[in-house]
Structure 1
Amino acid sequence: MSKMEIFDPAMCCSTGVCGPSVDPELTRIASAVYSLEQKGYDVSRYQLTSEPEKFAGNPVISKVLQENGPDSLPLVLLDGDVVKSGNYPTNEEMAEWFDLSAEELTKKPKVRLSLDLKSRK
């Protein structure tokens, strides 16, 4: 099974999906990553501000950053190889990498709640 690692640029929080104006691209990638994780795929996402050691400790990422600077972020590795630099992958690209349909990465998660009203006092 493939492993995807996303190295995000510096953001205000771990997902970048906060503050008064949310970038829809960050929302899309967060949703796609969540969908992949729920399906059991190996996906990791690292944020430069909160996890700089992940960037410095990865020779591939360090090399790209030294050669191309921070504009190369976000960087996406698939099984240790750079597959995307400077932009997040599209849902179609991720679907191809994981042998899925792009629609599977846009489905909203279904949450089921179970309430036991009889035990409430």
Structure 2
Amino acid sequence: MKKMQIFEPAMCCPTGLCGVGVDPELLRISTVLNSLKKNGVEVDRFNLTSAPMEFVNNKGINELLNTKGVDDLPAIVLDGEIVMTGRYPSNDEFCKFFDIPKNTLNEQPNPFNVITKSSGSCDCSDGGCC
């Protein structure tokens, strides 16, 4: 099985799904990763705030940060090689990376009617949402 790691920028919590404003892209990624997990595919996800040593210990990611900075995050590592930077893979790209059928990652409805917005922050006034 292929091994994927996602190195994400600093967020207020491990998934970025906290506070009153939820970034729809982070919601999609969490849904995709849950679907993958249900199908036996594990993806490691590292947030610069909560797992900084993962960024230091990975030579490729460390070099990326030292040369290009955090603007190239998220960075996607597949089997030890950086395959994408600056964005998350689309659902189709996830399927290609893992050689799985497209219907494995069917979009799921928002059962709780979560209102989403992309503000670039978690909107926590006290900075302690998690």
Instruction: State TM-score, norm by structure 2.
Output: 0.79
The answer as to 2:43 corresponding to 1:43 is yes
The amino acid that maps onto 2:44 is S
The answer as to 2:2 corresponding to 1:2 is yes
RMSD across aligned C-alpha pairs, in angstroms? Answer: 1.5
Could you tell me which residue of structure 2 aligns to residue 75 of structure 1? 75
The amino acid that maps onto 2:83 is V
* Structure ranking higher on relative contact order (CA contacts 8 Å, 6+ apart): 2
Could you tell me which residue of structure 1 aligns to residue 29 of structure 2? 29
Could you tell me which residue of structure 2 aligns to residue 101 of structure 1? 101
Residue segments in structure 2 that go unaligned for 5+ positions in a row? 109-130
Could you tell me which residue of structure 2 aligns to residue 116 of structure 1? none
Q: Distance in 2 between matches of 1:72 and 1:103?
A: 29
Q: Distance in 2 between matches of 1:81 and 1:69?
A: 18
Instruction: State TM-score, norm by structure 1.
Output: 0.85
Residue segments in structure 1 that go unaligned for 5+ positions in a row? 109-121
Could you tell me which residue of structure 1 aligns to residue 92 of structure 2? 92
For the pair shown, the structure with the greater C-alpha radius of gyration is: 1
Q: How many residues align?
A: 109
